[in-house]
Amino acid sequence: MTRRTASDRLRKALVVVVSLVAVLAVTGCDPLPVRQASHETNVFTPPPLPADARSRPLGRPGPLPADTGPYKITLTQGTSQAPVAYDPCRPIHYVTNRASKPRNGDAVLREALARLGAATGLHFHDDGATTEVPVPHRPDFQPKRYGNRWAPVLISWSDPQDLADLDGPVVGIGYSDSYGDPGQRRYVSGTVVLDGPQINEWLKQSGGRARARAIIEHELGHLVGLGHVHDPHEIMNPDASVSTTDYGPGDLHGLALLGTGRCFRDA
């Protein structure tokens, strides 16, 4: 990580949040190890129920294919095999750092988010641009920047020079952080980092747009709780040589499950 500033260190010091499970999602090579960390304090007061939370899910997953396939849930509740998921009764807010955005990056990102929304039923709300840069152990609660709420998901068009994790074959990273007691955990925020220069090169090539969208769909799959499967028909396959360009049957079954998690009336 370069460009570490005093404010970065301050934000890092403000990490008061919850257990965190981060999966470095790697597309183009074998996955990096699952990274787990725990940040617990006894002084953290979670943000209040957001005003846009509803008592019913905002949407529902699209029809499932007759075919089945493998999928992997990144994190389960511990007390059961139920997945940890985003709360479907409230929008998932996101902000975008466009520092290294390809020319058509916004459009491709919108397409990928639309496909994720259709597959999960989750609603994504664009909170606009941010200058926040991805950092390890990003705080999920940044009231000075985002107010008294969970920090929105950070989607960052980055560059290997700014983020060493994007060096080499790594094209994207995606993960979310969970909050709550065992059995009641839910994802509250997350990060997707995309290699802007690499994806920009793809977008200039024939078929590159589908490839770029597939990478984003893969990282968004990690964001909402899918892990890797080594099946050539699934987009959650980490092998970039696979030509799958949209969610496969296993992906869709997993995403539907992750889109129908519990609704919470706290935090």
Using CA atoms, how far apart are residues 92 and 36, in angstroms rounded to an integer? 23
Using CA atoms, how far apart are residues 185 and 177, in angstroms rounded to an integer? 10
Question: Which residues does residue 125 pair with via DSSP β-bridges, in sequence order?
Answer: 93
Question: Helix 105-120 vs helix 249-258: angle between axes, to the nearest 10 degrees?
Answer: 70
Rg of the Cα atoms in the chain? 17
| 141/175 with CB nearer Zn ion | 175
Comparing every residue's Cβ against Zn ion, the nearest one is 25
Determine, following the binding rule CB under 5 A, whether residue 25 of this chain makes contact with Zn ion: yes
Report the nearest approach of Zn ion to the CB of residue 64 (Å).
22
Report the nearest approach of Zn ion to the CB of residue 222 (Å).
6
Report the nearest approach of Zn ion to the CB of residue 220 (Å).
11
Determine, following the binding rule CB under 5 A, whether residue 18 of this chain makes contact with Zn ion: no
| 28/47 with CB nearer Zn ion | 28
Determine, following the binding rule CB under 5 A, whether residue 135 of this chain makes contact with Zn ion: no
Determine, following the binding rule CB under 5 A, whether residue 46 of this chain makes contact with Zn ion: no
Identity (one letter) of the amino acid at 28?
A: G
| 113/214 with CB nearer Zn ion | 214
Q: Which of residues 204-243 bind Zn ion (CB under 5 A)?
A: 238
Evaluate whether 88 touches 121 at the Cβ level (below 8 Å).
yes
Using CA atoms, how far apart are residues 126 and 86, in angstroms rounded to an integer? 16
Report the nearest approach of Zn ion to the CB of residue 226 (Å).
9
Report the nearest approach of Zn ion to the CB of residue 49 (Å).
32
Token pair for residue 113? 């988010």
Of 207, 15, 189, 34, give the one whose Cα is nearest residue 108. 207
| 238/249 with CB nearer Zn ion | 238
Residues of this chain that interact with Zn ion (CB under 5 A) are 25, 238
